[in-house]
Chains A and B, each alone.
Chain A
């Protein structure tokens, strides 16, 4: 084999690096198979006799197909396609015979590198792929130059990449964004996301999963609301069977009064991470929404855009509002009970003046009850399967937000006060550098809403009523601060970890901007951005593109034409045509062979063409190397070459 050992090691290393992040995305059988083949090939660099024979290779191919078949995914879709490419790449590695194979492998590797973006679009991944592509390009440089020094090739490759980056940015910004049609979004069955659901069963969960996953980010124009006002409204649960609370789907589109807003408004930009559901979590209570957003009759925002894509929304919310009167349907929905209340419950409601005093007093009494009695906040409550609300109220006294909210709403309804459970997120971590809020899955929350005469729907958070000393110790500190459950002023102990927090916030900010400006740069954002530059329609955009391309071309032309010897002599072109004709007779000019020597060789092989060859060669030498030549010499050369008959 004539392939340089250095090039092979270089190429194999680059490919090993490219497939590395796929370990997370692909089943172990595929990556295992691939890395087995790769290490085999690595061994083959030093021990070529150990490389598999044709038969063995066939067997390996069959094994590869069997692995793919065993995964039952076909060859379409994101996962299946990536697996196919990785398997093919591994097999092709064992079949390097000529330079052509190297090129094929490099291009396959580029495809596999691109496929990484289908799984992850973070800055880290982009930087990683850029570096790995540099190494791959270095292999190409190595193959194509007679230098085999690794560092030299890597340097050339990074120069190429560095030169390509400005061009990429221009094209990224200006080139029309192509929205992939819906069928091209590969729906992957295995991709399950955590998040809020449209039902709730407080007793069923004994250990709440706390996830650090980001749900959305909010950037305010102007003031940021205090922590106590950061209630991000999600689905409203109204119907219960005693254990399970669900959304009343029929009630979502009924006609209701427009709420009246007073006081200051908060304006903000909300960047939703990809979701399963089409919910958008707005600050209580959102006003004035534009398409694709819609506000349903529970004042929850839903979007008609694809929730699987990261999308940005502009929303205005008012913390003080009055939703006005309540419809009959709403009243029924909000006072629904699974059956008659038990004696214990009725007694409790009676004791707290639920039946004989105003709702305000009852609410305060109930919150006070949670505070003064022995209620605990814990993320690991006991299982309550039989009758969760009563068990919670009278026996265990232990639970988290869902338990408190459902119990509260249940008791309200027993007292004939319209009430419902609102789920969503509470709080948010402020990134001081970017001045935006991060809302993570861990901030999921449930609270209650009661309808009061003259005031409309009023938010009540029973979880906030629990005495601070009865909060379980192992709860995430961040979460407690965010929820306003505990509060403290920063002390010296925390100052030590301050810089760590700063660094995290800085990174969070970079990530947010990356998501907003790079990943989320779609058709709409592009036209918005371009119109802010004064490019409003397609025509101006084309002018811009043409101008920029023109400028770049001009610069390149200047760089190239600065050195006039680089331009191709038309005589050389004619002579090359002549050589092509001779090549048909098997007379191939060696690169180091001069025209005269070549003519000498050609004349001996084609004696009958000798005069033609002699004339053309002499004329070419005169034109290309001579001191001076006539005006018609070039034309004559062209004519003679055209008239020259290559075939015998």
Chain B
């Protein structure tokens, strides 16, 4: 079972060079059935990462480029009058795909943003009183530019909360960048990628993740972290119960990826920056720095 995962990670690492940890977190997010937010400047490989994952997982993939004039109907779909049948028929939008890349989500207006985010939360779309379920598995990778850039509508905290993780890719290191420059075109590589983990296997793994054991002691540690964020003056507002659930689920997925059947505090610590960073301080992109006081102050035992 873990073999498939390892192979998947290995292949992905050959496409996106020098970012094993971010890839691992992205796969972890996938296993925990959460959505992923990648926040970084353009051109560091956000799209390549999501494209690679879609290809390796054999999911049908659609990219939505968010612009300031995008409308909810562009994302969800619309009913169009059919002259032959003299009736309206629903034309599903880009969201009806297993993996959706919402590129530059913070360039769109809040109205369009919320259309996507509602679909993410409910796994279904309601248009003109009719409900259409979204395909399963359903996974959204959204990318966003740092909010200080011109022409952005930063996502409100309530909507950031819907993303299980937020990761930053950052510039590749010297060696990785050189390999990138000297290597093949990424686009060609992606096209030739085989499916490493078919959707039904992915769903099996997702189910296995939920069976990972979290002991009482570990739950206490999670609670201690949550309480710390609520009482410490370092944080403007603490983690919500939903954030607590997200933290535990992500930690379980991380433990599962490390071939353990029980969560240990190190798993929580490994995913904490990605899970809690954007919930604690949305404006700051350096998640590691945000959670550093938690990691050093909350006692493990």
A595 on the B face (CB < 8 A): yes
Query: Which residues of chain B have C-beta atoms less than 8 A from A595's C-beta?
Result: 264-265, 300
Q: Which residues of A contact B218 (CB under 8 A)?
A: 625
| 0/1 interface trace, chain B 281-300, chain A, CB 8 Å (1 if under) | 00000000000001111111
A594 and B215 contact, CB distance less than 8 A:
no
If A146-B231, A565-B216 touch, whether A625 touches B263 (CB-CB below 8 Å) is yes
Question: B10 at interface (Cβ–Cβ under 8 A)?
Answer: no
Indicate if the CB atoms of A592 and B297 lie closer than 8 Å: yes
**Number of B interface residues in the complex (CB < 8 A):** 25
Which residue in chain A gives the minimum CB-CB distance to B265?
Answer: A594
A596 sits at the interface (CB 8 A)? yes
A626 touches B262 (CB 8 A): yes
Of the residues B219, B231, B269, contact of A594 by C-beta under 8 Å: B269
| Structural contact, B301 and A621, CB atoms closer than 8 A | no
Answer whether A592 and B300 are a contact pair too, CB < 8 Å, given A565-B220, A597-B266: yes
Q: In the bound complex, what is the Cα–Cα distance between A595 and B215 (angstroms)? A: 15
Given A565-B220, A594-B266, A594-B269, A627 contacting B261 (CB threshold 8 A): yes
Q: Mark B176-215, 1 if CB is under 8 A from A, else 0.
A: 0000000000000000000000000000000000000101
B122 CB, min distance to chain A CBs, angstroms: 33
Per-position binary interface string of chain B over residues 46-65, scored 1 when its CB falls under 8 Å from any chain A CB and 0 otherwise: 00000000000000000000
B296 touches A624 (CB 8 A): no
- CB contacts (< 8 Å) of A590 on chain B: these are 296
Given the complex, which residues of A lie within 8 Å of B297, measured CB to CB?
591-592
Determine the chain A residues whose CB is within 8 A of the CB of B213 once the complex forms: 625-627
Q: Identify which of residues 549-582 in chain A touch chain B, using a CB-to-CB cut-off of 8 Å.
A: 564-565, 569, 572, 575-576
Residues from chain A with Cβ under 8 Å of B269 in the complex? 592, 594, 597
CA–CA, A433 and B296, complex, Å: 64
> For the complex, what is the distance from the CA of A597 to the CA of B266, rounded to whole Å?
7
Interface residues of B in 240-271 (CB under 8 A from A): 261-266, 269
**A-B pairs with beta carbons under 8 Å apart, 17 shown:** A572-B217, A575-B301, A590-B296, A591-B296, A591-B297, A591-B298, A591-B300, A592-B269, A594-B269, A595-B265, A621-B264, A625-B217, A625-B263, A626-B261, A626-B262, A627-B213, A627-B261
Separation of A148 and B217 alpha carbons in the complex (Å): 29
A576 to B231, CA, bound (A): 27
A360 sits at the interface (CB 8 A): no
A456-B3 Cα distance, complex, nearest whole Å: 121
Q: Any chain B CB within 8 A of the CB of A147?
A: yes
In the bound complex, what is the Cα–Cα distance between A382 and B86 (angstroms)? 130
Q: A134-174 interface mask toward B, CB cutoff 8 Å, 1 = contact, 0 = none?
A: 00000000000011100000000000000000000000000
Contact B300 A594, beta carbon cutoff 8 Å? yes
Residues in chain A near residue B233, CB distance under 8 A: 147-148
Contact A592 B266 (CB under 8 A): no
Interface check B232, CB cutoff 8 A: yes
How many residue-residue contacts, CB under 8 A, span A and B? Answer: 62
Taking A565-B220, A591-B297, A591-B299 as contacts, is the C-beta distance between A147 and B264 under 8 angstroms?
Answer: no
A373 cross-chain contacts in B, Cβ below 8 A: none
Residues 485-515 of A at the B interface (beta carbon under 8 Å): none
A590 to B297, CA, bound (A): 9
A593 contacts B by Cβ under 8 Å: yes
CB distance from A603 to the nearest CB of B (A): 15
Q: How far is the CB of A455 from chain B (nearest CB, A)?
A: 85
Contacts of B301 in A (CB 8 A): 572, 575-576
**7 nearest interchain CB pairs?**
A627-B213, A594-B265, A591-B299, A594-B266, A592-B296, A625-B215, A626-B262
Interface residues of B (CB under 8 A from A): 213, 215-220, 231-233, 261-266, 269, 294-301
CA distance A572 to B265 in the complex (A): 14
Of B216, B231, B295, the residue contacting A592 (CB under 8 A) is B295
> Which of B217, B232, B294, B295 makes the CB contact (< 8 A) with A624?
B217
Note all chain A residues with C-beta closer than 8 A to B296. 590-592
Whether the pair A592, B299 counts as a contact (CB closer than 8 A) is yes
Compute how far the CA of A311 lies from the CA of B261 in the bound complex, rounded to whole angstroms: 75
**Cross-chain contact A594 with B264 (CB below 8 angstroms):** yes
Contact of A626 among B215, B231, B266, B295 (CB under 8 A): B215
A21 to chain B, nearest CB (A): 36
> Taking the nearest CB of chain B, how far is it from the CB of A74, in angstroms?
50
Separation of A593 and B300 alpha carbons in the complex (Å): 6
Q: Please give 18 more A-B residue pairs, beta carbons under 8 A apart, in addition to A565-B216, A592-B296, A627-B261.
A: A147-B233, A565-B220, A572-B217, A591-B300, A592-B294, A592-B297, A592-B300, A593-B300, A594-B264, A594-B300, A596-B266, A597-B266, A625-B217, A625-B262, A625-B263, A626-B213, A626-B215, A627-B262
CB distance from A516 to the nearest CB of B (A): 48
- Min Cβ gap B229→A in Å is 12
Give A593 to B266 CA distance when docked, in angstroms: 8
Instruction: List CB contacts (< 8 Å) of A351-368 with chain B.
Output: none
For the complex, what is the distance from the CA of A94 to the CA of B53, rounded to whole Å? 65
Cα A594 to Cα B301 in complex, Å, equals 8
Q: Give the distance in Å from the alpha carbon of A593 to the alpha carbon of B298 in the complex.
A: 9
Question: Do the beta carbons of A592 and B298 come within 8 Å of each other?
Answer: yes
Shortest CB distance B286–A (Å): 18
**Measured between C-beta atoms, what is the minimum distance from A164 to chain B in Å?**
25
Q: How far is the CA of A593 from the CA of B261 in the complex (A)?
A: 21
In this complex, which of A564, A572, A594 has the most chain B Cβ atoms within 10 angstroms of its Cβ? A594
Q: Which residues of chain A have C-beta atoms less than 8 A from B266's C-beta? A: 594, 596-597
- Distance in Å: Cβ of B205 to nearest Cβ of chain A: 18
Q: How far is the CA of A621 from the CA of B266 in the complex (A)?
A: 11
CA of A625 to CA of B296, assembled, Å? 20
Q: How far is the CA of A148 from the CA of B233 in the complex (A)?
A: 9
Cα-based distance from A147 to B215 in the complex (angstroms) = 30
Of all chain A residues, which has the CB nearest B232? A146
Instruction: Tell me whether A624 and B215 are in contact in the complex, defined as CB-CB below 8 angstroms, given that A590-B296, A591-B300, A595-B264 are known contacts.
Output: yes
Chain A, residues 593-625, CB within 8 Å of chain B (1/0): the string is 111110000000000000000000000010011
Q: For residue B220, which residues in chain A have a CB less than 8 angstroms away from its CB?
A: 565
Cα distance A576–B216 when bound, in Å?
18
CA of A626 to CA of B261, assembled, Å: 8
Q: Which of chain A's residues 617-648 have a Cβ closer than 8 Å to chain B?
A: 621, 624-627
Could you say which residues of chain B place their CB within 8 Å of the CB of A565? 216-217, 219-220
Residue of A nearest to B225 (CB): A592
